[in-house]
Amino acid sequence: MLSKKLLHATFVVVLCGLLGGCYSHAKEQLSVQASPPVYPLDQSIENIVYTASYWPQPLQADLHLPRKPGLHPVVLMVHGGGWASRGRDDMDDVSRKLVSHGYAVFNVSYRFAPRFKYPAQLQDLQQALVWIAENARRYNLDIDRINAWGYSSGAHLAALVGSMNANHSRAVNLPELPRINAVVAGGIPSDLRKFSDSPIVMRFLGGELEEMPERYAEASPVYHVSSDDPPVFLYHGKLDFLVTDDHASDYHQTLIAAGVESELYLHNWRGHMSMFLFGDDAENRAIDFLDRYGASTRPG
């Protein structure tokens, strides 16, 4: 499994070869100007089995904690991979960045399609919320300040758990779930009805759009927007041809129309992978957004 850092390095080598430039020098210049981390990493507890004993498949997560007094706001971190591949180590870099800003991060794995179809993955994230609530006192986690962050298919799941965790698609035997305070979604496929002939989406949902239009709608974050949704920060590359940027802009407009706080960051020269690999600017803006909406207790 290639980590985001290794993917980033590989991409840079290829890009430097093509352009004859030296990215490492530019990166060095940027790092000199970057602010030092505010909070050091206190501990990382890896390979926590967060699912209940009766769950169809045991699933693991890594908990990263800042060295910071008091209760920590939490970010539930969700990796991408078309609901069928990749791993949570893809999100290690942004997880550690969040820790430096004082957030505890619960970076999870989830069940993969096509063996496990929707809503299995959503229910896995709901189980992760149960684990956070049950272990909050042990790790100084603030269950009133839980947020969700994901990229690509992980963004889709993060947005769904933000909209639906209270009363929809909850697995049997799950207790009342904590509310999501804010959502960060990068490269989000917000409306699965736009993928009428995608093999990836077909494997995830179990059929074609014309066979199950209601299921495609029900599995789409944009379909569930309501006035009580948490604030959402969206970031997307305008050269993303895998998940086109109208997924982000349409979702953003739907949130705004419903009275939900939302911000949209579009980068003119990034695609799906380059937005993920080189999205430091977007991630920094997203953390600013979390500091405003996710690190304070949500009213209501």
Q: For 82-135, how does the pLDDT look when each residue is reduced to its tens digit (9 = 90+)?
A: 999 999 999 999 999 999 999 999 999 999 999 999 999 999 999 999 999 999
Quick check: is 49 in a domain? yes
**pLDDT given at position 298:** 62
Nearest-angstrom CA–CA distance, 155 and 146: 16
Q: How many domains does the chain divide into?
A: 2
Total-model pTM: 0.87
199 shares its domain with 231: yes
298 lies in some domain:
no
Whether 63 and 20 map to the same domain: the answer is no
If asked whether residues 12 and 67 sit together in one domain, one would say no
Same domain, 28 and 69: no
Average pLDDT over residues 220-243: 97
What integer best gives the mean pLDDT of the chain?
Answer: 88
**Within a domain: residue 300?**
no
Residues 138 and 274 in one domain: yes
What is the mean predicted confidence (pLDDT) over 269-276?
Answer: 97
Mean pLDDT, residues 30-37 taken together:
47
Banded pLDDT at 21 (limits 50, 70, 90): very low
Name the residue with tokens 């189980």: 127
User: Which secondary structure element, helix H or strand E, spans residue 9, and what is its range?
Assistant: helix 4-19
- pLDDT in the model for residue 294: 85
Is 151 in the same domain as 262? yes
In this structure, are 86 and 117 located in the same domain? yes
Mean pLDDT of the 194-214 span = 97
Helix H or strand E encompassing 237 = strand 232-237
pLDDT confidence band for 299 (50 / 70 / 90): low
86 and 113 co-located in one domain: yes
The pLDDT tens digits for 143-198 are: 999 999 999 999 999 999 999 854 455 555 667 889 999 999 999 999 999 999 99
In this structure, the answer to whether residues 48 and 18 fall within a common structural domain is no
What's the domain range around 99? 41-293
Q: Are 196 and 56 in the same domain?
A: yes
- The average pLDDT across 66-84 equals 97
Query: Length of the chain in residues, anyone?
Result: 300
> 19 and 134 share a domain?
no
Q: What is the DSSP letter of 106?
A: E
Q: Looking at residue 207, which CATH number applies to its domain? A: 3.40.50.1820
* 19 confidence band (pLDDT: 50, 70, 90): very low
Q: Which residue has the tokens 């990034």?
A: 270
Are 35 and 284 in contact by the 8 Å Cβ rule? The answer is: no
Shared domain for 25 and 88, answered yes or no, is no
The confidence score (pLDDT) of residue 172 equals 52
